[in-house]
Amino acid sequence: MTSDKNTQKGLYIKNFGCQMNVYDGDRMQEMMSSHNYDSVNSVEDADLVILNTCHIREKATEKIYSELGRIKKNISGKKEKTIVAVAGCVAQAEGEELVKRAPIIDLVFGPLTYHHLPDILQSFENDNLNKKKAIVDIEPPNEDKFTELPKRLKDNRAISAFLSVQEGCDKFCTFCVVPYTRGVETSRSFLEIKDEANELISTGVQEIILLGQNVNAWSNSNGKKMDFADLIYELSLLDLKRIRFTTSHPNDMNHKLISSFRDVEKLQPYLHLPIQSGSNKVLKNMNRNYSSEEYVEIISELKSIRPDIAISGDFIVGFPGETEDDFNKTEEIIKKIGYAHAYSFKYSPRPGTPAGQMENQIDEKIKSNRLQRLQDEIKRSMYKYNKRFLNENLQVLVEKETTPGYFSGRSPYLQSIHFQSESSCIGNIVDIKVLKVNENSLSGEILH
Query: How many other C-beta atoms can be found within 10 angstroms of the C-beta atom of residue 265?
Result: 9
Within 8 A by CB and 6+ apart from 131, the residues are none
Cα 319 from Cα 321, distance rounded (Å): 6
Question: How many residues of this chain interact with ligand SF4, rule: CB under 6 A?
Answer: 10
Radius of gyration of the chain from its Cα atoms, rounded to whole angstroms: 23
- For the purposes of burial, counting CB atoms within 10 Å of the CB of 179, is it exposed (0-12), middle (13-18) or buried (19 or more)? middle
Minimum gap (Å) between residue 354 Cβ and ligand SF4? 11
Q: Which is nearer to ligand SF4, 87 or 286 (CB)?
A: 286
Going by DSSP bridges, is the β-strand pair 416-420/341-346 parallel, antiparallel, or unpaired?
A: unpaired
Q: Which is nearer to ligand SF4, 173 or 430 (CB)?
A: 173
Contact between 75 and 45 under an 8 Å Cβ cutoff? The reply is no
Candidate segments 164-172, 189-197, 235-243, 438-446, binder of ligand SF4 by CB under 6 A: 164-172
Among 118, 141, 150, 179, binds ligand SF4 (CB under 6 A): 179
Cα 360 from Cα 340, distance rounded (Å): 32
Minimum gap (Å) between residue 251 Cβ and ligand SF4? 9
Minimum gap (Å) between residue 30 Cβ and ligand SF4? 25
Q: Which is nearer to ligand SF4, 252 or 326 (CB)?
A: 252
Minimum gap (Å) between residue 249 Cβ and ligand SF4? 5
Candidate segments 44-52, 173-181, 299-307, 431-439, binder of ligand SF4 by CB under 6 A: 173-181
Cα 58 from Cα 278, distance rounded (Å): 22
Query: Torsions phi, psi of 133, nearest 5?
Result: -95, 125
Instruction: Give every strand in the sheet of 242-246, ordered side by side.
Output: 160-164, 207-211, 242-246
Q: Which is nearer to ligand SF4, 29 or 214 (CB)?
A: 214
Three-class DSSP category at 393 = strand
Three-class DSSP category at 315 = strand
Q: Is 178 in the site for ligand SF4 (CB under 6 A)?
A: yes
Q: Which of residues 38-77 bind ligand SF4 (CB under 6 A)?
A: none
Candidate segments 165-173, 365-373, 420-428, 439-447, binder of ligand SF4 by CB under 6 A: 165-173
Q: Which of residues 231-290 bind ligand SF4 (CB under 6 A)?
A: 249
Q: Which is nearer to ligand SF4, 206 or 213 (CB)?
A: 213
Minimum gap (Å) between residue 287 Cβ and ligand SF4? 8
Minimum gap (Å) between residue 141 Cβ and ligand SF4? 21
Q: Which is nearer to ligand SF4, 203 or 251 (CB)?
A: 251
Q: Which is nearer to ligand SF4, 35 or 171 (CB)?
A: 171
Minimum gap (Å) between residue 250 Cβ and ligand SF4? 10
Three-class DSSP category at 413 = coil
| Alpha carbon of residue 15 to chain centroid | 10
Among 48, 68, 120, 173, binds ligand SF4 (CB under 6 A): 173
Cα 184 from Cα 373, distance rounded (Å): 36
Q: Is 172 in the site for ligand SF4 (CB under 6 A)?
A: yes
Among 29, 214, 312, 344, binds ligand SF4 (CB under 6 A): 214
Candidate segments 4-12, 134-142, 170-178, 363-371, binder of ligand SF4 by CB under 6 A: 170-178
Q: Which is nearer to ligand SF4, 248 or 386 (CB)?
A: 248
Within 8 A by CB and 6+ apart from 448, the residues are none
Q: Is 343 in the site for ligand SF4 (CB under 6 A)?
A: no
Among 32, 99, 176, 362, binds ligand SF4 (CB under 6 A): 176
Contact between 415 and 441 under an 8 Å Cβ cutoff? The reply is yes
Cα 179 from Cα 375, distance rounded (Å): 28
Contact between 398 and 411 under an 8 Å Cβ cutoff? The reply is no
Cα 86 from Cα 103, distance rounded (Å): 12
Residues that bind ligand SF4 (CB under 6 A): 169, 171-173, 176, 178-179, 213-214, 249
